[in-house]
Every structure is written in C-alpha cells, then in structure tokens.
A and B are shown apart, each in its own frame.
Chain A
Amino acid sequence: MSAIARWLDSDVAYSFRRSPVALMAALVLAIILAGAVLAPWIAPHNPLDLASLNLMDSRIPPVWDAEGQRSFPLGTDDQGRDILSGIMYGVRISLVIGVASVIFAIVAGIAVGLLAGYAGGVLDAVLMRVADIQLTFPAILIALLVDGVVTAALPQEMHERLKTQVLIFSIGISFWPQFARTVRGSTLVERGREYVMAARVIGLSSGRIMLTHILPNVLGPVFVIGTLTLGLAILSEATLSFLGVGLPPSSPSVGTLIRIGNDFLFSGEWWMTIFPGLTLVLLVLSINLLGDWLRDALNPKLR
C-alpha cells in the first residue's frame, strides 16, 4: 500500500471526509494559498514594482461600482495599487512570517521543553518559571516589546531590510512557552518509560535519547498547537503591521493593507480596508477550524 493510499484509509482521513466544516475550511484555505503561492503568475499587477503604479489610478472602486475598472477587480488604494494583487502578495508575506515564526516558536519550545523535562531539577524549575512569567503577558505585548527593542538596537538603515526577520523573531519568541510547556509535560511521562531506560542502559548519550527516542513521541500535540498558533501568529503580524511597527507600505502584508485602507474608511473608500480585512478573517478562520478539527481527530477519547 502506498503512503497516500494508507493515509486515505486512516482514521484521520476518514474523519476529515466526514467533517463538512473541515472540508469547507480546507477549500477556503486552498484557494487563498493558491492565490498567494501563484501570485507572481496569476495576479493582475505586481504591487511590489513601484514603477508600475500610476497615481492617476488611485482610489478606483471595485469593478461592480459604476466607476470601477475591469483591470482592478477589487479597486485600488491611495497610491494606485491594485487591491486584489496587493492581497495576493500580502497573504504571501503574512503566511511566510506566520509559518516561520511558528517554526521558530516550535523549535525553541521543543528545545526548552525537552531539556527541562529530561533534566528536571533546578534547570526545569528555572525554565518553566520563565515560561510561566511570559504566559502571564498577552503574546502581542511581548511581540510589541521585542519588536521595539530589537528595532531600536539595529542601525537605522537596516530596519527595512531586516524587518521580516525582526517580525519572525518577535512573534516567534512570544509563542514559545505553550510549546515548551506541552513538550515538557510529555517528556516527563516518556522519561520514565522502559524504552528510555533501555536506551540509557545501552549507554546512549542524553542528547541522542532526547532527539531520537523521546522527541518523536511528544510531537503529536505540538502539531495541533502549531496549527492553532499559526492563526494567532498571522493575526499578531497583522496587528503589528496595523499598529505601524510591522511591515512598511513598500512591501505590504495584509495587516499593512488594512492600516493603509483604514485612513480612508470615513471618506467612503471602504474597499481599501474591507477586502484585506475579509481575507485575513477567512485565512485565520479556516486555519483555526482545521486546527480544531485536527485536535479532535487526533484525540483518541473522542473517537
């Protein structure tokens, strides 16, 4: 049986096929993802090419409006940037930052969790207290703080160039405690199991035991939390960009687009902020619904 056939036959796949919510969410997510990934080939304009922008095309309403133009299906913003293309490229950036910061949080969380759970004692106590303290702050505050400190520490001319990395770091660092807590808990359980004892008896190093023996057995919950955190991370990026400390208008993420459009809400040019906002809602909602479904599907008690 091939791997695909085996997966299609699995419990998880079965529950996926039976869940209309999961199917819908996957469909929406697939459409958004396809738009984002294929943006350079299918987007009507390239919003990153400043030379292609024409100020006289600015503030054109969506195509169904009487003043709309067919070349700008969802209208244009105040600089003449096509909203649809802006969203497609923006989702790309939002997703890259979201996924990268979650991976950062997972790697950091797993490292700390494994270490704390396996070593125990003082190290465990210290690491977990740090995690506890951080958990008492809302993640967005931590991200704001880290973003501000790191940006201030960098020389000015590097700000724009390193903004993506700074964002990934600050969002990633705000989400590691969840992962560390979960991994530590599972590690404590696994540490006492016979196979770990056996590995220790044959003289394997601690690092090897942690990475090749314990780690595979504690990953399950990490994936579920990872999926749910992805939605939060994308939201964090959007919030930071909306507050003006995220990505600059020259490489706009969805949050930046919402911020730019927000200044034109009162003047009736609603499309500049509504469409990116709607996209963000759909993106995060579908990721969260999939995450919820995954949690239920992987929970043996709910089967």
Chain B
Amino acid sequence: MSCDKGCVCYRHCYNEWGVLEMLRSVLAASLFSVGLGAALPASAATFRWANDGDANSMDPYTRNETFLLSFAQNIYDPLVRRNRELKVEPALAMSWEQPDPLTWRFHLRPDVKFHGGEAFTADDVVFSYQRATGPGSQINSNFSTVKEVKRVDDLTVDFITKAPNPILLQELTQWGIMSKAWCEAHNATQPADLTKVKEENFATRNANGTGPFILGTREPDRRTTLRNNPAWWDKPEHNLTEVTFNVISSANTRVAALLSGDVDMIYTVPPQDMDRIGHTQGLKLAVGPELRTIFFGFDQSRPELLKSDVKGKNPFQDIRVRQAFNMAVDAKAIQSRVMRNQSHPTGLMYGPGVNGYTEASDVRHKYDPDAAKKLLAEAGYPNGFGVTLDCPNDRYINDEAICQAVTNMLARIGMKITLNAQTRLQYFAQISNPGYNTSFYMLGWTPTTYDALNSFFNLAGTRNGVRGVFNDGGWSNKEFDDTLDQMAVETDAARRQQQIERASKIIHDEAAFIPLHQQTVVWAYRSNVELQQMADNWFPLRYVTVK
C-alpha cells in the first residue's frame, strides 16, 4: 500500500499500547501517593496555584505546548480525554466506531452546552477541525493523518483518515472543541498568531468551552481566575468553586507564597527548595519522571547564521563544530549541580517510558573539552566564535541556569556565547515556525503518542509543512527521513526497534542536536489538597479537591 507523507504512524501502535500498559503500572505507585485517595468531593472550596510562566493564550490552538494546552483543557473539553491513568476515555464524544478502516464515527454527547449557552453540535466539531488545521493554528500536526471531518447529523461526525490510523484517539486528546457560533460572532474564526507577540483576537483573552471551568478574569502574565461550571455534563470529581492561577516568576517568591499559605500549590518547584518544602509540615511534594527531553539544537539551514559574528558561512553546517559542542557539554555536572539529581542525562531525543528507548542505545558524546577545542580548531575556529543561545527563563526546570552553565562550558572551548534568556511568550515567538529566528536554541519535547517516532517526526524530520514543524534548526538528512518513513509502516516490533535505533544513531553520528536530560516533575502543595500528577506534566483541575 502506498503511503503519502502524511502517514505518520500506523500499526506500530501495537507497541504503544504495550507502553501504555507498562506506564500505567509504573505510575500506579505514584498515583496512590498522590491522588487516588480523592474520595467524594467535600464542601466547596477555592484553589489558588502558581507557576513561573503564564499560559500565554486562552486559545487552545495557538501553541502546541503542554502548559498552555493543559490549562486550556480546564475550559475546553476535547472529544476524548485522558483519565488519571492516561487512558483515553469518552468526553464530548460518548462513543465511537470504525465502519471501515479509514473512517472513525464519533457519536457526540447530547444536551451539552457551551459556557455561553450555545448548544454543542457536530457543526462545532467540523468548525474546530477547520480552525485547528487552518492558518494561525500550531496544533495541525495532530491531524496529519486526517483527510476530512464530515457532519453526518447533529450529533454524529465522521473522521476520514488518509490511511488507517489506530492512534487517532490519542492524537485528539489535546484538542479542545470550540463553539462555531461564538468564534464567528467574535471574529475569532482563526487563531491569533502567537509568534507575532502582539497579535491577539477575542479568543486570546476570552474563552467559551464546554469544560468543567468557566474563565473568570484574565490578566496576562499576572492572574487568571476560573469558576466552577455548574452545568458541566460530567459528574465533577473536584470540589472547587473558584480557581486562581498566579504567575510568580521568581523561584524564591513562588516558594515563599506556598510556605506562607498564599497559594495552595506550585507547579514548578525549584530543585534547590525540594528539601525545605519536603520537611515543612502541612506541605507535600509530588515527584515523578517526566517524558520530556530537554535538548539544544543548531540552525543548520541558513547559509549564514542570524545571530553570530561568523559571516558568509554557517559554522553549524560543519559536523566538527556540532561534535565539539556535544563534547563540551557536561550533562553529568548539570545533573548534579544545577538539577540536584532531579534529572536523567541522556544522549537520545526521547527518554525512558517512551517506546523505542533502551538503555543500551542511550549514549552521549564523551565529555572531553580538550578534544572539543581541537575539533573547533580543525574546523577553522581556533579561538571559537560568537553566537547567541536562545533560551526560555520560565518554561523548563532551571532553564536559564542550565543555559548559563552551558554558556560557561562552551566558553572553556573558546566559544563566546551570548545568552538570550526570555519569557516563554517571546522565546517561542522567536524560535518557532514560521520564522525560526534562532541560531542555537534550547527546547524540550514530550512525544504525545509516547513513541520515539513522534519526537523524530516533529523535531528532526526535514521540514515539509507537517513533518519537522518543531525542527527549529532545519536539520535535514535523507537517510533519516527514509528511516522515519519505514518506521511509520513497519509492523514487526523488533525490526521497528532497529529502525528507531538507526535513526537515533544517525542523529548521534551527525551530532545533529545536543540531547541533555529528562527532567523530574516536581509539584508542591498543601496537605489539604488532593490532586493528580500526570507523567506528561498535565495538571487537570477536574481532579483537584480541597478539604
């Protein structure tokens, strides 16, 4: 059977189910300690929590980023959602079936109303699909296998895929359904382009979903409030009447707010404060490995770097320079000193828990600054060169401190790195598609399907509009792309594993990226709060109870 370029993954998903099973058992222990005790909702309560960065838009299509999507799903229900064990369960779609291998028929939940009172129908699903795949949307890669979405009747829609896609449900879990009438009435039928920092439309600051919470007030970068949706179609497991989300960028202030009782939960706990919080009575920590891999990438597509003092050529197109960078970064030191052992150094673009990961294949370039210096000299840069490192300062754990450490490590081989650490809004706007205005960047990625192909496809595949959307450095390798195509249709698990390892070996041998580590997710909260920590670092408020 022919497979066009949109055919991301097929059949290998048998493996994925296996991974999910495994993940579930691994998670079980942490789940017990964190959330399963949440019995019947007690009396109504207010929940205040804080993070170092904001969910930059209330529009769930504007960026494919965990925090934004996770926040938006408190307001916007998807067709299918993940439950406490990360299993897919019905949400706005009550049931589904496959009349033929290319068609998924969803039966929608009747009598669901948007917060604004509009009835939820098949038209909203079709409209949301068009909006999510149209201009301005950053989540279109979730629909790379979908050919069209058809309304059958008021409460039935068909998804037609280009090829059989057994993991379509997983790909739809992050996709909140918006109201057609509301978007049209407020001139928001297209997502505002977040890469243009100042572009906004009505849906950027307002929201109208069918979800468990209704957006109250919205002050970007400061405070967002939500209130309970009494008309929610599902039986709430939470007991919250009001939720206040605060942006507190200073690590110290955030911890102080938790210690003093000003907030009930902080989503990003600085590693240095884990001990202190863990030993404070009345506070609890939730600690779990995250599937996210933090790595650095180089612009290898432009003939001349945008932010460098080397003119007329692109030093990152020279493999020796990329190898030198890889050899100069001491991931172990970052693990022990910056992350205080709350990380897992890696040489792969995906971590343990993701299908395809094996310890044997997880090899980093050996840390060797002297050899790195020699390589740089061979490449024609005996005194290094200047280049800017784009880095967020409120997105990943200790992101700025890591970038600073890497800057210092590269200084030891003679590089003059200018660190450009910015808030996530500016940072993503700069390094993301379509501009890719970066020369050297830090990024983190969690594969939504828990399979290595998702990381390869999004981060490293040659850009073609659907593939490589987050390949911000524009690395391109024919053999690698061919391997991905084979991987997407391979049915034999062993052979597919070989393909995954071959793809990883190409990345390693080409020194295409600098994989760094998987971070540990640490949340802290008051002991009267029950919540559910997810391994993908989603934080569903519908599982929060306050006693």
Contact = CB atoms under 8 A, between A and B. Distances in A.
A201 interface: no
Contacts of A132: none
Contacts of A79: 401, 404-405, 408
B275 A56 contact: no
B272 interface: yes
A262 B252 contact: yes
Nearest to A50: B411
Interface string A258-300: 0000111111110000000000000000000000000000000
A51 B388 CA distance: 16
Most buried by B among A80, A160, A263, A265: A263
Interface centre among B252, B336, B411, B412 (most CB of A within 10 A): B252
A53 interface: yes
A265 B338 contact: no
A216 B275 CA distance: 62
A268 B256 CA distance: 14
B420 to A, nearest CB: 8
B501 to A, nearest CB: 31
A262 B401 contact: no
Interface string A47-66: 00111010110110000000
Contacts of A267: 270, 272-273, 275-276
A55 B276 contact: no
Contacts of B86: none
Contacts, number: 66
Contact of A55 (B272, B333, B419): B333
Contact of B272 (A80, A157, A250, A264): A264
A148 interface: no
Contacts of B317: none
B252 A55 contact: no
A51 B333 CA distance: 15
Given A262-B250, A266-B255, A50 B408 contact: yes
B411 A78 contact: no
B407 interface: yes
Contact of B252 (A53, A157, A265): A265
Interface string A148-178: 0000000011001000000000000000000
Contacts of A50: 407-408, 411
A264 B275 CA distance: 12
Nearest to B275: A267
A80 B307 CA distance: 27
A43 B307 CA distance: 33
Interface in B240-265: 250-252, 255-256, 259
B338 A78 contact: yes
A157 B437 CA distance: 13
Contact of B408 (A51, A160, A268): A51
Contacts of A55: 330, 333-334, 337-338, 405, 408-409
A120 interface: no
A157 to B, nearest CB: 7
Contacts of A269: 272
Interface string B390-421: 00000000000100110111011010001110
Contacts of A157: 307, 388
A176 to B, nearest CB: 31
B411 A51 contact: yes
Chain A interface bracket (under 10, 10 to 19, 20 to 34, 35 or more): 20 to 34
Contacts of A78: 272, 337-338, 401
Contacts of B412: 51
B233 to A, nearest CB: 43
Contacts of B388: 157
A40 interface: no
Contacts of A268: 276
A249 interface: yes
Given A56-B337, A78-B401, A249-B404, A263 B307 contact: no
A156 B275 CA distance: 38
A160 B407 CA distance: 15
Interface in A17-53: 49-51, 53
Contacts of B276: 266-268
A157 B390 CA distance: 12
Interface in B315-341: 330, 333-334, 336-338
B188 to A, nearest CB: 28
Which of A59, A78, A156, A266: most chain B Cβ within 10 A?
Answer: A266
A283 B398 CA distance: 32
Interface in A55-86: 55-56, 58-59, 78-80
Most buried by B among A49, A50, A265: A50
B404 A263 contact: no
Interface in B327-363: 330, 333-334, 336-338
29 contacts: A50-B408, A50-B411, A51-B408, A51-B411, A55-B330, A55-B334, A55-B408, A56-B333, A58-B337, A58-B338, A78-B337, A78-B401, A79-B401, A79-B404, A80-B337, A157-B307, A160-B418, A248-B419, A250-B407, A262-B252, A263-B250, A263-B251, A263-B272, A264-B252, A264-B272, A266-B272, A267-B276, A268-B276, A269-B272
Interface of B: 250-252, 255-256, 259, 270, 272-273, 275-276, 307, 330, 333-334, 336-338, 388, 401, 404-405, 407-409, 411-412, 414, 418-420
